[in-house]
Amino acid sequence: MAKRGLRPLLRGAYTPPVLQRGDRADCLVRDCMLVVSSWSNAPISWPRGCPPRKSPGSASLIVDEALARAVRQESAAAIRYWWGVSNVTVSRWRRALGVNRKNNVGSRALIRAATTKARASQAPVRSAAYRQKQRENIIRRRMEGTAPELATSKAWTVEHKSLLGTMPDQEVAARTGHPPSSVRTVRQKLRIAAFRP
């Protein structure tokens, strides 16, 4: 059965066949004539039947043209709720009628809605100011990698460069006023080994 509170919308009006107990009707899924033995008590009441000379315990819903059209058009959740059947039954009906997720309008609509909802939750809308700040940060990080003195707006003097490798990068950063990442980048570009006491 469907989850509590779920009321999937149907894509058309589905009228049960006008049959009475003891009437015979052709079932498209079981591919035989069934004798109507009872009616289901689902939101859409539908005739149940079993093959002649079989016990009424083997009765199942009679899949006529109207119900087959619903199976081809509706999502599995809608079929489960409105006809009161299980997932296994819906799968069996779909296999018998050649229905899958790609050629079923209802399933495609549910999948598309779920995908849209997932994408919306993963990619929150960002303001123009936020995006501009992100671009500036990316440019600054790239410049730190290629030209640290431009990124920090402080030139590397000969005296600053002479301190590289003679003391830890943190200490060089504190003395020269350059960021530690800039000190490390310049030292590596000049192929100066890290300070080891």
- How do residues 132-183 score in pLDDT, each as one tens digit? 888 888 887 777 666 655 555 577 888 988 999 999 999 998 988 888 888 8
Is it the case that residue 194 has pLDDT exceeding 50?
yes
Reading the block at residue 118, the tokens are 């997932």
Which helix or strand (DSSP H or E) is residue 35 part of?
strand 32-39
Q: Are residues 85 and 157 in the same domain?
A: no
154 within some domain: yes
Mean pLDDT, the chain, integer: 82
Q: To which residue do tokens 């009321």 refer?
A: 7
Among 120, 155, 181, residue at a domain's last position: 120
Among 87, 120, 153, residue at a domain's last position: 120
Q: What is the pLDDT of residue 109?
A: 76
Q: Are residues 113 and 28 in the same domain?
A: yes
When pLDDT is averaged across residues 2-6 and rounded to a whole number, the result is 49
Domain that holds residue 178: 144-189
For 32-59, the pLDDT digits (tens) are 888 898 899 999 999 999 888 766 667 8
The closest alpha carbon to 22, from 1, 57, 47, 58, belongs to: 47
127 within some domain: no
Q: To which residue do tokens 């301190």 refer?
A: 163
How far is 94 from 106, CA to CA, in rounded Å?
A: 13
69 within some domain: yes
Q: Dmax of the chain from CA atoms?
A: 104
Q: What is the pLDDT of residue 1?
A: 43
1 within some domain: no
Domains in the chain: how many in total?
A: 2
The pTM (predicted TM-score) of the whole model is: 0.52
